[in-house]
Chains A and B, each alone.
Chain A
Amino acid sequence: MNAILDRTDLEKVGAAFTTERMLAVRDMTRETIHEIALAVKPGMVEEDAVEMARGMLAARKMLRGWHDVYVRFGSNTIKTFGAPSEPGVVLGENDIFLIDIGPVFEQWEGDGGDTFVVGQAPQYTRCAEDARTLFHLVRHKWLADKTSGTALYQFAVAEAAKLGWALNMDLSGHRISDFPHAAVYDGPMADVGFCPSPLLWVLEIHIRHPEQPYGAFFEDMLLEDRYFV
């Protein structure tokens, strides 16, 4: 498949693309994720948290999204992208939740995700931390070895297994650009046989416990170390 996924075609951008604007929207996206996370409290119903998140995005003029807004509580953290959550899940006192947003600010796409833990739940904390750890492990592999998208996710699967998690390959990276990247390439990064360029792709790590119903998610742009201080 990689022979037809030519880098020149798949890494095109639109007329509005600039490094500065893409990075600015990336920062806005990550700030919003953390703002949402701070407002999520035990006792909330997941659907209310999603509506709250929409409100916060609207206040930042980022309600428009290239994908839907996901705030998932507890056992819903194992749901794959696009799958509906089990309704009515209430965040417990010692619980885990993830956020995944893909806002469009003016002409530029953001995309990011992270996982948070409330109360005391060491198994959840380890899961959330491992999602971040895996993200950076894979990113460092990309930096050091100029690894292809396909090889990066083979590496990610193996590293997740070493930590005791199953990696969800439904969420295996994708393009990001001035809106809409889908007009260029809407497939997974795991399908590309070349080394993805910085600023043009996001790396997604969605892990779950092999038996128990919880998982964690971390997603951000593929960028060099200086952007993760």
Chain B
Amino acid sequence: MSGDSTPQITPRALDAWVVRIEEAGPGVRRLILRAAGLFPYRPGQYLSLQHGCGPGRSFSMATAPRPDGLIELHLRRHPGGVISAALLDSAVAGDVLRISGPYGGMGWCDAGGAVAMLATGTGIAPLRALLEQAIAEGSTAPVTLYWGVRTREQLYLFDELDQWHTRYPGFRFVPVLSAPGAGWGGAVGHCQQVAAGEMEFQIFARAYACGNPAMVEGARRLFAAHGLAGSAFQADAFEPATGAADPGDAAAAVTITVDGTSLQARAGQTLLSAIKAAGLPVLSVCGGRQSCGTCLVHLHPDAGVPPPSVTERNLLACLPGVESHSRLACQIHLSPGLDGLHLRLGPESAALRTRTLFSTPQLQGESA
């Protein structure tokens, strides 16, 4: 994906709760999350979502940052997609997920001239967020949005986007169906083909493409052929069920070594979930809420892990067995930059290896 000159927001990892899950359209659900803390992002960016101890997967935020702090994601069921299937089948309001981000360099830029936006499927989500920002900034750049799906029913935001010209006078919505049924009077084919046809008489100064990698690559070639390259073309291509291929991708492999044992983890996981997934003895009494300190680990001084939050720092200050580079494993979000991380488990986890502590009590006083 192409970047721009906007300052990056440092990614962070935190819990998020499912506020609600809504049917958006055939096979698509709208997932509304509330992060456990601040989660700033720019429209057009994406996050990594982790459900349980499984791998993370990337989803774009579908709105500009909302005043109520809620995060909206659009999920489409992918065959074999572990994350989306788990979320679509079993997640309910109140479930705790792990999110990290924001990632991605795509962002709205009104540098004059007309803008083309191309999306397939749920690739509409980040473009919708960009359009909200364009409206908020009072942009006047003409925008044509080409949204390609197979059937009319899959245009799950049709009613909304069909009215956006009332919010953004320069906005034009071009839905494109590749398998239209009877009665469809709109564009037919693939959205990059329809855009190419219109480029016979329309000049675009910038373009955004999100969704199916084949579409994104086709759009990239199309706009390059029309002299639109570099930062004027921005794209996010999400491979179904595998996540983006960006170096910051949540699905990237990370090797960590715990007490001399090497294990494979995925970016997007917490260090705690990676250790647990490997079957190593680690306690997490409070469930990753930086309250109990049982997942204490000792890192190598050069680990390069982002510094602890105030809450974590305060807890570390009152835990037994803390060393100068000790951290809570629940608060460390694995990223490709932490590949090769070495650590030792803290004293309480280590004690689990040989725990014979518990016995039946001899209670004083009367019994019930």
Q: Mark B290-304, 1 if CB is under 8 A from A, else 0.
A: 011110000000000
| A-B CB proximity, top 8 nearest | A12-B358, A65-B291, A13-B361, A19-B364, A68-B289, A14-B357, A180-B285, A182-B285
Q: Is B34 in contact with A84, judged by CB distance below 8 angstroms?
A: yes
**Once the chains bind, are B368 and A195 in contact (CB under 8 Å)?**
yes
Residue of A whose beta carbon sits closest to that of B290: A68
The residues of A that contact B136 with a CB separation of less than 8 Å are none
Give the size of the chain B interface in residues (CB under 8 angstroms): 34
Q: Does B81 contact A (CB under 8 A)?
A: no
B361 contacts A224, C-beta separation under 8 Å: no
Cβ contact within 8 Å between A198 and B283: no
- Chain A residues 6 to 32 lying within 8 A of chain B, measured CB to CB, are 8, 11-15, 17, 19
B365 interface contact, C-beta 8 A: yes
* A89 is an interface residue with CB less than 8 A from chain B: no
**A-contacting 9-mer, from B55-63, B121-129, B228-236, B312-320:** B312-320
Q: Given A13-B361, A84-B36, A200-B361, check contact A183 B367 (CB 8 Å).
A: no
- How far apart sit A196 and B293, CA to CA, in the bound complex (Å)? 28
Residues on B with C-beta less than 8 A from A196 are 368
Stretch at the interface among A56-64, A121-129, A207-215: A56-64
* Residue of B96, B355, B359 most packed against chain A (CB within 10 A): B359
| Given known contacts A67-B291, A82-B96, A196-B368, A11 and B361 CB-to-CB distance under 8 angstroms | yes
Q: Which residues from B are CB-within-8-Å of A224?
A: 365-366, 368
Residues of B within 8 Å of A199, CB to CB, are: 361, 363, 365
Query: Chain B: interface secondary structure?
Result: loop
B352 contacts which chain A residues (CB < 8 A)? 183
Out of A11, A12, A66, name the residue touching B291 (CB < 8 Å). A66
Interface assignment of A33: CB less than 8 Å from any CB of chain B: no
Instruction: Report which of A8, A61, A200 forms a contact with B318, defined as CB distance below 8 A.
Output: A61
Docked pose: A11 CA to B355 CA in angstroms: 16
Q: Which of A14, A64, A87 has the most CB of B within 10 A?
A: A64
Contact of A19 among B283, B315, B363 (CB under 8 A): B363
Residue A197, interface by CB 8 Å: yes
Contact A197 B363 (CB under 8 A): yes
Tell me if A83 and B285 are in contact (CB < 8 A). Answer: no
Q: Across the interface, do A68 and B367 meet the contact criterion of CB distance under 8 Å?
A: no
**Cβ–Cβ contact A87 & B368, under 8 A:** no
Measured CB to CB, the residues of B under 8 A from A are 17, 34, 36, 69, 94, 96, 283, 285-287, 289, 291-294, 311, 314-315, 318-319, 348, 352, 355, 357-361, 363-368
Contacts of A186 in B (CB 8 A): 285
A-B contact list, 29 entries, CB within 8 Å = A8-B360, A11-B360, A11-B361, A12-B358, A12-B360, A15-B357, A19-B363, A19-B365, A58-B314, A63-B315, A64-B293, A64-B318, A65-B291, A65-B292, A67-B286, A67-B291, A69-B291, A84-B17, A143-B368, A180-B292, A180-B348, A183-B283, A183-B357, A186-B285, A198-B367, A199-B361, A199-B363, A224-B365, A224-B366
Whose C-beta in chain B lies nearest to the C-beta of A106? B320
**Chain A residue nearest to B34 in the complex (CB):** A84
Return chain B residues, CB-CB under 8 Å to A11.
360-361
Is the beta-carbon distance between A13 and B292 smaller than 8 angstroms? Answer: no
Q: Does A73 contact B (CB under 8 A)?
A: no
Q: From DSSP, what is the main secondary structure of chain A's interface residues?
A: loop
Nearest chain B CB to A177 CB, angstrom units: 8
The residue on A at minimum CB distance from B69 is A87
A residues 148-168 with Cβ under 8 Å of B? none
Whether the Cβ atoms of B283 and A180 lie closer than 8 Å is yes
Query: In the complex, A68→B94 CA distance in Å?
Result: 16
Report the bound CA distance from A17 to B360 in whole Å.
10
A184 touches B (CB below 8 Å): yes
11 more A-B residue pairs beyond the given contacts A68-B289, A180-B348, with a C-beta to C-beta distance below 8 A: A15-B359, A66-B285, A66-B286, A67-B285, A67-B289, A80-B94, A82-B96, A83-B17, A143-B368, A199-B365, A224-B366
Minimum CB–CB distance for A225 against chain B, Å: 11
A54 on interface, CB distance cutoff 8 Å:
yes
What's the Cα separation between A61 and B85 when bound, in Å? Answer: 44
User: Which residues from chain A contact B36 at a C-beta distance below 8 Å?
Assistant: 84
Contacting residues, chain B, for A37 (C-beta < 8 A): none
The answer to whether B365 touches A64 (Cβ under 8 A) is no
CA distance in complex: A146, B311 (Å): 43
Considering the chains assembled together, what is the distance between the CA atoms of A102 and B287 in angstroms?
A: 13
Tell me if A142 is interfacial: C-beta within 8 Å of chain B.
Answer: yes
A222 within 8 A of B: yes
Residue of B with least CB distance to A80 = B94
Find chain B residues with CB under 8 A from A182 CB.
283, 285
* Shortest CB distance B80–A (Å): 31
